[in-house]
A and B are shown apart, each in its own frame.
Chain A
Amino acid sequence: MITLTDLRKVYPSPDGDVVALDGIDLTVDRGEIHGIVGPSGAGKSTLMRCLTALERPTSGTVAIDGVELTGLAQRELRRQRRRIGMVFQHVNLLDARTALDNVAYPLRIAGTPKAQARARALELLDLVGLADRGGSHPAYLSGGQQQRVGIARALAADPAVLLCDEPSSALDWTTTRQVLELIKQVRDRLGLTVLIITHEMSVVRQVCDSVTLLSRGRVAQHGSLRDVVTDYGTTLARDLIPLAATPVGDKRAQLEVSFSSADFAVADVLALLVELNALAGVESGTIESLAGERVGRFQLDLKAGDATQVIDRLRGFGLHVEVTR
């Protein structure tokens, strides 16, 4: 379990202090995969650096499974860091060592005998599907393979928590899916608590159970994936179910309809849209399976004069409607 309490980080600068984190409270339960999203400059990287205690927060606390990292002495901090597995955007494998030795490195650091460390490393390489590449140096592995080795290394010291900093941002789409799937598998098998920092909503859609939106160093929105996507009209709900932008003509209105299969049978909603088609045509729309539900968003284009009638009908049915134009 990860607990952040009123976490603040201020960087002093000649032009005035820069507040990177402005009082973050956050709890991620054991076994949960939690995504932290936000535009660049929102404080994601600073948050990650405070979580790993590579950076000391200005105030507030960071605790992993009840052990507070802030204020630990160097030696004890080193011991606690082994309970945190870290996956980096740029992997950061050691070029001079083979894949196997990279995975064994955290164990060797901790004083595990070489043979034992290598045996464990081989198990982990097997877990990430690279048992046959142990002898290769990182330069001879593909980006996806390197990240798999990175994940295996993060798991070497049996951590309780896996922190992933933009784990897939340097990878192509297919490899991203594989790497995220692997993170999910690892969570399922080892019961880890996982925190993923990312700027890609697709990552959140694919693996996260819950999500936090950071904005200017504060928590702007927070909740389980199911809760945030059905909190229609919020930033996360919109970003998680994106719609293509469509042009709007003069004297036309535009409506956005959002719904979840938790509240409606999808077929009933579609039937209603078909019924209203003569007045309001669907311009763009999407239905996604998220957190066990199907969540949909449709954009309707209609004559400005018909707006009231259509809105009443949709709202009467119980749907969430927003006038976007």
Chain B
Amino acid sequence: MMFAALEINWDVWQTLPGRTLETLGQTLLASLVVLLIGLPIGVLVHVTEPGGLRPQVVVHRITTFIVNVGRSVPFIVLMFLLIPVTRWIAGTSIGWRALSIPLAIGCIPFFARIAENALRGVGKGKVEAALMVGASRLQVITGVLLRESLPGLVGGITVTEVTLIGYSAITGAVGGGGLGSLAYNYGYSRYMFDVMIIVTVVFFVIVQVVQMAGDLAARRLDHTR
């Protein structure tokens, strides 16, 4: 009976490449923003902590608080919450481009936390050794903290990327386009089970490729094994 119900809706399948590109485009756009804003926040949290490179209790508390608040709001709620912001920046609150805004904002705290964790893995001795040869704090951040944690950061970027892809599907349910909209509008609302399956397969392939590329890059960058 299952198989009899599984008819193929070719007209919907034809939109698959376009929708896939939307998902990829939205994820990529959001990734850039997440990396550009999330990484500096992660660095800020790390260097301002007590005993850090530049201890600043107040700055540390504030940034940590913002990161925690950001992480505690469920993405779907955040998306609705940010509609005015999205509209203000993009002029509209629908379409893959517009919804890359809440997507990015939702993932910034997530990546900041991951980046901070990777930076924490760099031994204090390395930082002291660099300071001892006369490195400035900025030189320590770029030449030691970021460079030494690069394999970990790349691993973190991979995890963030997969999360972004997943969240991007959620935006599809509220007019964000992409593969998520196919799954929601056709697979869910019109009971097109074939669409559900093919969307699942495409997501699986995308995530698999991202994960493999990330693992490969991290391994190439890691000189400790």
Chain A contact residues, CB within 8 Å of chain B:
52, 54, 78-79, 81-82, 84, 86, 88, 90, 92-97, 105-106, 109-110, 137-139, 153, 156-157
Contacts and interface: CB of A to CB of B under 8 A. Distances in A.
A81 B224 contact: no
B147 A84 contact: no
A141 to B, nearest CB: 11
Contact of A86 (B129, B144, B148, B224): B129
A110 B139 CA distance: 10
A86 B132 contact: yes
5 contacts: A105-B133, A137-B223, A137-B224, A153-B133, A156-B133
A94 B132 contact: no
A81 B225 contact: no
Contact of A106 (B134, B144, B147): B134
Contacts of B134: 78-79, 81-82, 106, 109-110, 157
A157 B224 contact: no
B36 interface: no
Given A88-B128, A93-B129, 11 more contacts: A54-B131, A78-B134, A81-B132, A86-B129, A88-B125, A93-B126, A95-B223, A96-B147, A96-B150, A105-B130, A110-B134
Interface in B113-132: 123, 125-126, 128-132
A138 B222 CA distance: 12
B135 interface: yes
Contacts of B148: 94-96
Interface in B126-157: 126, 128-136, 139, 143-144, 147-148, 150
A109 B132 contact: no
Contacts of B135: 78, 109
Contacts of A88: 125, 128-129
A137 B131 CA distance: 21
Contacts of A93: 126, 129
Q: Closest 6 CB pairs between A and B?
A: A106-B133, A92-B125, A137-B223, A92-B129, A78-B134, A139-B224
A64 to B, nearest CB: 13
Nearest to B140: A109
A139 B221 CA distance: 13
> What bracket does the count of chain B residues touching chain A fall in?
20 to 34
Contacts of B147: 94, 96-97
B178 to A, nearest CB: 37
B225 A139 contact: yes
B118 to A, nearest CB: 13
A137 to B, nearest CB: 4
A163 to B, nearest CB: 9
A137 B150 CA distance: 15
A140 B128 CA distance: 23
B126 A94 contact: yes
Nearest to B148: A96
Contacts of B225: 139
Given A54-B128, A109-B139, A92 B123 contact: yes
Contacts of A90: 123, 125
Contacts of B123: 90, 92
Nearest to A108: B143
A153 B131 CA distance: 13
B133 A109 contact: yes
Contact of A109 (B130, B221, B223, B224): B130
A153 B223 CA distance: 19
Contacts of B130: 94, 105, 109
A168 B129 CA distance: 17
Contact of A81 (B126, B131, B150, B221): B131
A139 B222 CA distance: 10
A88 B131 CA distance: 13
A92 B125 CA distance: 6
Nearest to B124: A92
B117 to A, nearest CB: 17
Contacts of A153: 129, 133
Nearest to A52: B132
A72 to B, nearest CB: 12
Given A54-B128, A137-B223, A139-B223, A94 B133 contact: no
Contacts of A94: 126, 130, 143-144, 147-148
Contacts of A156: 133
Interface string B188-225: 00000000000000000000000000000000010111
A157 B130 CA distance: 13
Contacts of B223: 95-96, 137-139
